[in-house]
Amino acid sequence: MSTTDNPCCHADKLHALVCGTLVESEEQSIQAHLDTCQECRQKLEQTAADPDSWVEATTFLKDDPWRSSFVGDPPDAGSPAALPIQQTLELLQPTDDPSMLGRLGGYEISGVIGSGGMGVVLKGIDCSLDRIVAVKVLSPHLASTAAARKRFEREAKAAAAVLHPNVIAIHAVSVDSPLPFLVMPYVRGATLQKRIDREGMLPLVDVLRIGLQIAEGLAAAHDQGLVHRDIKPSNILLEDGIERVTITDFGLARTVDDASITRTNIIAGTPQFMSPEQASGEPVDVRSDLFSLGSVLYTICAGRPPFRAETTFGVLRKITDHAPRPLREINPDVPVWLALLIGRLMQKTPAARYATAHHVAELLRHCVAHATTPNTPLPRELRTTWRLTRTKVAWASLSALATSLLVAAWMIQGPTDPPQRSAAPPPSPESSADNAPPTMANAPVKRFEMPTTPNFSVPYPHNLTTPPQVILPQDDFSWEISGELAPSAIAQEANQLEQQAGQPFLHGNNLPVDPAVPDAPLTNTKSNN
C-alpha cells in the first residue's frame, strides 16, 4: 500500500496530531508511520507551520500543567516557543512526586525557566545534593541531529573550561542520553534583555557595573583561548539586580585556533550584536567579543540596539558599512568619557579597538570609581585632553618658536599704528604702580629667561580657571601638568620636565609656549585668571 493511501497521511489526521486531539492509539500509529515515511514527515512540517494549526492548538496547550510552574511569564500558547517545551516535558521520565513535572536523570523537574533556539531550560532539584539547579535540554527536534549534539557538547566543554564568577558554571552534562542536557546553577533573576524591555535606558552606575562584570567574564574566557561569538543582552543573567552578572550560552564559542573560527563566508551569531568581521563572514578573534560588548553597552545606554533594520541583511549591512547614531544624541546624560569608551569598542576595524578584555575591565573599574566618587580621576585615555605624538610635538614646537620670535620682534620694535585710547575707567586713587601686580606691560623684557615668579596676570584662552591637562603617550615621555596654575606657572613647571626628558612640550589648550621666550601680552582676555 502506498503512503498516500494510508489514512495517517490525510491532512485532517496530521492536523489533529499537531493540535493534540488524537487518542493515544491513533497518535502512536501515526508516529510509527512517520518514522518510516519521509513524505508524511514533510507534510507534518507543513501542517505544523500553518498558523491555523497553532490557533486551534491553543486550547490544547493552555491547560498544560507546566504553565502554572513556569518561572516568570510563560510563552503564549500559540507561540513557537510553547511547542518545544511541551515536547520536552513529554519525554521526561515519570516521578513519584506529584508536585514535579517529571524526572531527567538524577534531577526532579519542578518548572520551566524558558526556551530558545537550541533548547529548553528547566528548573530542577539535584536529588543527590538537594540543591536547586537549572537544566538546559536540547530541543527534541534537534536531538536527532549529530551537528546539534556536537554543538551542545561544545557549549558544555567551553563553559566548563572557564572558572569565573561572571561565567556560568557547569555542574554536569549528559550528551549521549536520548534527551541531551547540561546542568548549571540556578540564577535567581532575569536576563539583561528583560530588564531593557522593562526599563529602557539604565542608570549610569548600573551600566558601568554590568559592563565591568561582562568584561571580566570575557577576560577569563579569552584567557582560556575562547571567543564567545554571541555576546548579547539575552545571554547576560542579572542576579539580585546587578550584584552579579553572568555570561551564559557558550554554544557558539570556539577556540582562537579552531579551524572553523578562521573559515571565511561563515556567519554565526545574533545579527544586531555581531562585529563587522563576524557579519562579513571573516575570521574573528577576541576583539570581536569586545565589539559585541560595546554594542551591549550602547543598547543599555540608549534603550535600543545600535543597528536596526527591517531585515537581517539590512542589519548586517549597517554593521559593516555605517556608524551607529551618536550615543549622546539619543541619551545626553551619557558622559563624554563613556561615549568615548563605547565608541572605541565599536570601531569597524579590530586594530582600532582595545586589544584585550582585561584592558576594558580596568578602564571600567576606574569609571565605576569615578561615577561613585567624582573626585576619583578618570583613566588618562578617557580624559578629553590633547594627545600628542613626538612628531606632532616637533611640528608644534617649531610653529610655536616661529610665533614667539615674531611676537618678540614686535615687542622690541613697538607697534606701527598709534595706540588706541582705552575705554576703560581711570584707576582708583587707592591703586598705585607700587602695589600693582607685575604684568607684561610694566615688566622688563628678558628674551631668553623664564620669569622668576609665576605671572598670574597673563590671560588664558576660553576663560578657564583650571588649565586642561597635557598628556603624552607613555613611550613619548608622558607627564601630566594640572592644577590651579596660570599658563606661566605651567610653562615653568614644564620647562623643568623638558630638561629631564630632553623633549619639547606643548602646553595648555592649543596654546604654544616656548620656554625660551617670556610670556607675551594677549588681547580680549581677563587678568588674574
Query: Using one digit for the tens of pLDDT, what is the confidence trace for 119-148?
Result: 889 999 999 999 999 999 988 888 888 888
Residue 427's pLDDT is what? Answer: 55
What percent of the residues of the chain are helix, what percent strand, and what percent coil, each to the nearest 5? 45, 10, 45
CA 31 vs. chain centroid, Å, equals: 47
Residue 400 corresponds to which cell in the numbers above?
Answer: 610655536
Cell 507534510, residue located = 43
- Is residue 230 part of the annotated active site? The answer reads yes
HSE-CB of 53 using CA atoms within 13 angstroms: 21
Backbone phi, psi, residue 251, to 5°: -65, -30
Residue 257's pLDDT is what? Answer: 53
Q: What share of the chain in percent tops pLDDT 70?
A: 59
- Average pLDDT per consecutive 10 residues, the chain (529 residues; last block may be shorter): 50 67 68 75 62 42 46 56 82 90 93 82 92 92 84 85 92 88 90 94 96 98 92 92 87 59 48 90 93 98 94 90 95 96 97 97 97 91 61 62 74 60 53 49 46 45 46 39 44 56 46 43 40
Backbone phi, psi, residue 183, to 5°: -115, 130
Q: Which helix (H) or strand (E) holds 407?
A: helix 390-413
> From CA 67, how far away is CA 63, in angstroms rounded?
7
Cell 553597552, residue located = 297
Does 446 belong to an annotated binding site? Answer: no
3-state secondary structure of 184: strand
- Which one, of 192, 176, 100, 187, lies nearest residue 138 by Cα? 176
> From CA 62, how far away is CA 76, in angstroms rounded?
8
What DSSP character marks residue 22? S
DSSP string for 468-496: PPEE--GGGT-----SS--HHHHHHHHHH
pTM: predicted TM-score of the whole model, two decimal places? 0.60
Selected catalytic residue, list 12, 35, 130, 230: 230
> From CA 290, how far away is CA 296, in angstroms rounded?
10
Q: For the chain, which domains are there?
A: 1-62 (no CATH), 64-186 (3.30.200.20), 191-382 (1.10.510.10), 385-408+442-529 (no CATH)
3-state secondary structure of 504: coil
Burial of 263 (0-12, 13-18, 19+ CB in 10 A): exposed
Residue 496's pLDDT is what? Answer: 58
CA 96 vs. chain centroid, Å, equals: 46
HSE-CB of 505 using CA atoms within 13 angstroms: 29
Residue 244 corresponds to which cell in the numbers above?
Answer: 552579579
What DSSP character marks residue 352? G
What DSSP character marks residue 189? E
Gyration radius from the chain CA atoms? 34
Sheet containing 131-138, strands listed edge to edge, beginning at the edge strand earlier in sequence: 102-104, 107-115, 119-126, 131-138, 181-185, 172-174
Residue 364's pLDDT is what? Answer: 98
Count of other CB atoms within 10 angstroms of residue 118: 18
